Amino acid sequence: MFKPLLFVAAIALFGITASFAPGAMPQEAAQPPAAGAVNPVKPTAHSQARARKIYGIDCAMCHGDNGDGKTDLARDMELTLKDWSDPKTLAARPNQELFSIIRSGKGKMPPEAEGRAKDDEVWNLILYIRSMARQRPAAAPTPAAAPVASN
Ligand code: HEC
């Protein structure tokens, strides 16, 4: 949503006639969360180590170290937690939705305040959570079970 606006603003700024390479725009600045479904951060070893640390302190007690949600606290609080180690669980959930849930909380899930994880750290948490699915290879589809197109 913001990028086209920025682009237009940049063109207005530099003059319509100036030769302008969009690819040269600096991408370093943190994007606001409303930037869309694309995760604006690129994971680095450092940022993912930080995400793992935050997750261990603020999230693992409910969601579990491996994201399967089978924790004592979840049982005690009678939480219904999804199993993120199953690749199907988060596959269809947009990043923006996950961001909102982490930042604002939902149901019995408490919000993660800015003082505990800045926006870019929340985005890295989302990458970290999604990476949990890859630790278990998806079951290989059996050719016989593949749906046959009917038309
Ligand atoms: C007190 C337990 C608790 C803690 C701590 C907690 N969550 Fe949750 N989380 C939940 C519950 C319960 C839900 C399901 C909310 C619903 O749909 O009603 C949930 C849902 C989510 C979802 C949405 C996807 C899904 O599986 O439904 C994400 C993403 C998520 N949590 C991430 C986090 C992250 C990241 C942290 C740490 C910053 C965290 N949670 C900390 C309990 C917790």
Taking CA atoms only, the protein residue closest to ligand 1 atom 41 is 59
Q: Are 49 and 133 in contact (CB under 8 A)?
A: no
- Tell me the pLDDT tens digit for each residue of 43-55: 999 999 999 999 9
The structural domains of the chain, ordered by start, are: 2-27 (no CATH), 45-134 (1.10.760.10)
What phi, psi does 109 have (nearest 5°)? -85, 125
CA 63 to ligand 1 center in whole angstroms? 7
Characterize 63-87 residue by residue with b for buried, 16 or more Cβ atoms within 10 angstroms of its Cβ, and e for exposed. bbeebbbebeebeeeeeebebbbeb
Q: How many angstroms separate the Cα of 11 from the Cα of each of 8, 19, 26?
A: 5, 10, 14
Q: Which residue among 52, 62, 104 has the greatest number of ligand 1 atoms within 8 angstroms of its CB, and so is best to mutate? A: 62
| Structure confidence by residue, pLDDT tens digits, 98-148 | 999 999 999 999 999 999 999 999 999 999 999 999 655 556 666 665 566
Nearest-CA residue for atom 11 of ligand 1: 109
The whole-model pTM stands at: 0.74
- If you measure from the C-alpha of residue 110 to the centroid of ligand 1, how many angstroms do you get, rounded to a whole number? 8
